[in-house]
Amino acid sequence: MGQVATVTSKSMVSIPARIRERYGIREGSKLEFIESDEGVLLIPVRSLGELRGAFKAHEKLVREGIRELEREHRKEARS
């Protein structure tokens, strides 16, 4: 079940602590509002640095994939 928050007179909403902690939302974080027929979805917007860090663990796999694609491309170009 979801959690409930109240909109203040200045149109501000406090995000429940459990939600902030789970999704790494802190002061200065940006949230994207996505509208649908059912309501509004809030998604944390990650900085480029955060995204880069998230993919760092897979860097070797990505580089190997790129090399394989380059080999295939060269092979097809010679045919």
pLDDT at 59: 78
Q: Do both 27 and 1 map to the same domain? A: yes
Question: What tokens appear for 1 in the block?
Answer: 């079940």
Task: Report residue 55's pLDDT band, with 50, 70 and 90 as the boundaries.
Answer: low
Q: Do both 37 and 52 map to the same domain? A: no
Q: Do both 51 and 40 map to the same domain? A: no
Region 39-54: what's the mean pLDDT?
77
Q: Do both 11 and 33 map to the same domain? A: yes
What's the domain range around 53?
47-79
Higher pLDDT, 78 or 51: 78
HSE, side-chain direction, 13 A CA sphere, residue 34: 5
By the 10 Å C-beta count (0-12 exposed, 13-18 middle, 19+ buried), 77 is classed as exposed
